[in-house]
């Protein structure tokens, strides 16, 4: 099995397209960094304990005003709770113009990276059929299931490599743009009325890991479509369309009870982590069960077709 995975990995790694994808990802990270540094309006100065107290005084003055809209009152109450926590715990927030702020702003680029892994996943099996090399692959004394699994694992390894490129490019670009820093921070957020306080490394692992979950689901979907229909273009097109329109589909059909069992209501796990699920009543447990169910359906469909279909078909 390790030999099969290594062979499939080398097929991916030796393609010129792999280097082009990595270079494009690095270029996008640099472009985002330059835009945030020079094109966007300068953020307010980060506060320390003293200015946090001043913010609290300002919030209290605003709250003492009359006829505040309910939405404004709720927002002020949340800000007061958050600033109180900063002062009481003597925690310094991460400055806006800082390498770690840049790192925490970039999990959404995993969606951009998903386009590349979808292309690779869609062509892993379909490309073998298109080039005619599938027959040479299947005459080897290895079970078809192992061949298919090795192709999927190699695709996920490619995704992990791209994630490493993304993280490295983000940190290095952040150091160049905002200065070198290894200072440890804590990430404090107000989620559904509750303070969440996490070490920076733990929060970073959580947000990028959750973003990577969506990548794995759509890459596996593209892998399945390419395996079942042996058509790379269909697999890429369908996967990317659903990747970018899934959220809109959920919003259009959110009046129906069954929509909570649709895949796209759960793929954006990062949004749920931030306390903003696409649908009310969707819990982390439900999302986990739905995502696992779809994952195994995709895997089972690819396995059944690949192991049973005649190559000549």
pLDDT digits (tens, 9 = 90+) for 195-243: 888 998 899 999 999 999 999 999 999 999 998 888 889 999 999 999 8
In the predicted structure, residue 14 carries a pLDDT above the cut 70 = yes
Q: What pLDDT sits at residue 260?
A: 86
Identify the band that residue 177 occupies on the pLDDT scale cut at 50, 70 and 90: confident
CA atoms of 178 and 198, how far apart (whole Å): 23
Q: What pLDDT sits at residue 47?
A: 47
What are the start-end ranges of the H helices in the chain? 2-13, 16-34, 49-63, 70-89, 99-104, 109-131, 134-138, 144-178, 200-229, 232-252, 269-273, 284-308
Q: How far is CA 222 from the centre of its chain?
A: 16
Query: Mean of the pLDDT values across residues 32-36?
Result: 88
CA atoms of 100 and 224, how far apart (whole Å): 37
User: What is the pTM (predicted TM-score) of this model?
Assistant: 0.86
Residue 305 tokens read as 């077709």
In the chain, domain spans: 2-46+93-308, 47-92
In the predicted structure, residue 45 carries a pLDDT above the cut 60 = no
Question: Do residues 260 and 279 lie in contact, with contact meaning Cβ atoms separated by under 8 Å?
Answer: yes
What are the start-end ranges of the H helices in 14-104? 16-34, 49-63, 70-89, 99-104
Identify the band that residue 48 occupies on the pLDDT scale cut at 50, 70 and 90: very low
Q: What pLDDT sits at residue 49?
A: 44
Tokens 């099996």 belong to 125
The DSSP element (H or E) to which 191 belongs, if any, is strand 186-191
Buried b (16+ CB within 10 A) or exposed e, 270-303: bebbeeebbbeebeeebbeebbeebbeebbeebb
pLDDT > 70: percent of the chain: 94
Note the pLDDT tens digit of each residue in 82-135.
Answer: 888 888 888 877 777 888 888 988 888 898 999 999 999 998 888 877 777 777
pLDDT > 90: percent of the chain: 31
Tokens 């061949």 belong to 147
């Amino acid at each position: 099995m390790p030999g099969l995975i290594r062979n499939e990995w080398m097929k991916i790694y030796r393609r010129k397209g792999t280097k082009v994808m990595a270079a494009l990802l690095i270029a996008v990270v640099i472009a985002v960094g330059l835009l945030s540094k020079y094109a966007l309006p300068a953020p307010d100065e980060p506060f320390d304990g003293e200015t946090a107290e001043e913010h609290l005084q300002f919030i209290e003055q605003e709250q003492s005003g009359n006829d505040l809209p309910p939405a404004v009152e709720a927002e002020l109450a949340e800000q007061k709770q958050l600033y109180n926590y900063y002062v009481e715990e003597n925690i310094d927030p991460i400055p806006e113009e800082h390498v770690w702020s840049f790192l925490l702003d970039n999990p959404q680029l995993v969606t951009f990276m998903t386009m590349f892994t979808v292309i690779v996943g869609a062509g892993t099996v379909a490309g073998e059929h298109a080039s005619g090399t599938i027959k040479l692959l299947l005459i080897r004394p290895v079970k078809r299931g192992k061949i298919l699994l090795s192709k999927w694992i190699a695709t996920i390894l490619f995704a992990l490599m791209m994630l490493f490129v993304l993280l490295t490019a983000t940190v290095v670009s952040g150091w160049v743009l905002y200065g070198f820093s290894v200072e440890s921070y804590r990430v404090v957020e107000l989620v559904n009325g509750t303070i969440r306080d996490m070490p920076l490394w733990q929060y970073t692992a959580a947000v990028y890991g959750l973003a990577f979950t969506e990548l794995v689901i759509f890459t596996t979907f593209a892998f399945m479509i390419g395996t079942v229909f042996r058509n790379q273009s269909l697999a890429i097109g369908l996967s990317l369309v659903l990747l970018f329109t899934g959220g809109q589909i959920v919003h259009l059909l959110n009046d129906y009870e069954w929509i909570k069992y649709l895949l796209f209501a759960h793929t954006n796990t990062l949004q749920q982590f931030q306390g903003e699920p696409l649908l009310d009543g969707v819990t982390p447990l439900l999302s986990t069960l739905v995502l696992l169910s779809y994952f195994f359906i995709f895997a089972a469909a690819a396995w059944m077709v690949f192991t049973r279909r005649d190559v000549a078909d």
